[in-house]
Amino acid sequence: MLPENKSKKLPSLPDSQFWVGGIMNELQEGIWSVDANTNQFVYINQAVENIYGRHRNDFYENENLWLEVIHPREQDSVNDCVFQAKNTGKAEIEYHIFLLNGETRLLHHKFLYIAKENHKKQYLNSIITDITEAQKLKSKLVKVQKESKTKAHEFQRLTHNIPGIIYQWKKNIDGSDKFIYISPNCQEICELDPADVQQNSALMWELIHPDDLEAFWKSVAVAAQTLSNWQFKWRIITKSGTVKWLSGIAQPEKQSNGDLVWYGVLLDISEQQATLRERQQTEVALQQSEAKNALFLA
């Protein structure tokens, strides 16, 4: 049940024109209303002056001024948009205007058509937004994204051509780790999909030869403690059972939270190691042969 009416006088609204006009003049968007029958402006807010760089009286005195300052190539499109608004009730468009100082601005213009009293009163209302700076930022963002995409493509081509694996590995202070990036050659050298390795770094560590595992992690710990350049050679056993020799070099970088990010390269040195072993075996065989010859001659 509603409380009993005490006939208390309710506060009255202020004069509507003064009230609405005060609010409109605080907006950053330009607002105006045009009598569609006479094409005369009936209201223009303060923001219109800021956007067009002209006094409101200029528009009251010349109802076509807003069209005249539009870029000539875009005037027909704006007129078409006005026609559309009168037929559908609303329409919007973007176009450029010229200021008195020669500067150009990009505007977003929304037209709202209102008809009253069986079309005896018709108004074409407008909401105008200066999107010049927003468009500049958008263009700059598109340019940066394009440059970034180009650089990423170039980097991808570079990593494909380098005979090794480029990687970025993060060792967290809590002991967990993750490959932030690992190049496509991981597939050829380690027989692992780079995407899988980025999801699960353990796939890489599981390949390390058991006889090299302890020395491998010991070398990593020393470099992490001293933040010195890391270099190490070790064997891996791939999924196909192939034993390969890898040579790694990386530079650890400590983050503000204590985590370490390692930037490094892994090279497949299996052929070099095989050549080295063959040379060592040849040298040993040569030494044994020379020893036998010396013994025979003695």
In this predicted structure, the answer to whether residue 11 has a pLDDT above a threshold of 50 is no
β 121-130/165-171 pair status:
unpaired
CATH architecture entry for 17-135: 2-Layer Sandwich (3.30)
Burial class (CB in 10 A: 0-12, 13-18, 19+), 236: buried
Torsional class of 117: left (φ above 0), alpha (ψ -120 to 50), beta (otherwise)? left
Share of the chain above pLDDT 70, in %: 83
In the structure, what pLDDT confidence band is assigned to residue 292 with cuts at 50, 70 and 90? low
Q: In angstroms, what is the C-alpha Rg of the chain?
A: 38
pLDDT at res. 84: 95
Pick from 53-67, 76-90, 282-296: least confident: 282-296
Residue bearing the bigger pLDDT, 24 or 237: 237
Span 141-173, pLDDT tens digits: 778 777 777 766 666 665 566 678 989 999 999
Element (H, E) at 250: strand 243-254
Residue 55 sits at the vertex; the CA angle it makes with 52 and 57, to the nearest 5 degrees, is: 125
- Domain 159-275 class, CATH top level: alpha beta
Token look-up 């480029």 returns: 166
141, 81, 85: which is closest to 107 by C-alpha?
81
Q: Which residues make beta-bridge pairs with 17?
A: none
φ/ψ of residue 192, rounded to 5: -130, 140
Taking the model in full, what pTM does it have?
0.48
Could you tell me if 166 and 265 are in contact, meaning their C-beta atoms sit under 8 angstroms apart?
A: yes
In this predicted structure, the answer to whether residue 13 has a pLDDT above a threshold of 60 is no
The answer to whether the 17-135 and 159-275 domains have the same CATH topology is yes
| Mean predicted lDDT score pLDDT of the chain | 85
Token look-up 């599981």 returns: 206
Domain boundaries defined on the chain = 17-135, 159-275
Burial class (CB in 10 A: 0-12, 13-18, 19+), 90: middle
Torsional class of 258: left (φ above 0), alpha (ψ -120 to 50), beta (otherwise)? left
Q: Which residues make beta-bridge pairs with 249?
A: 231, 265
Which residue type sits at 131? Answer: I
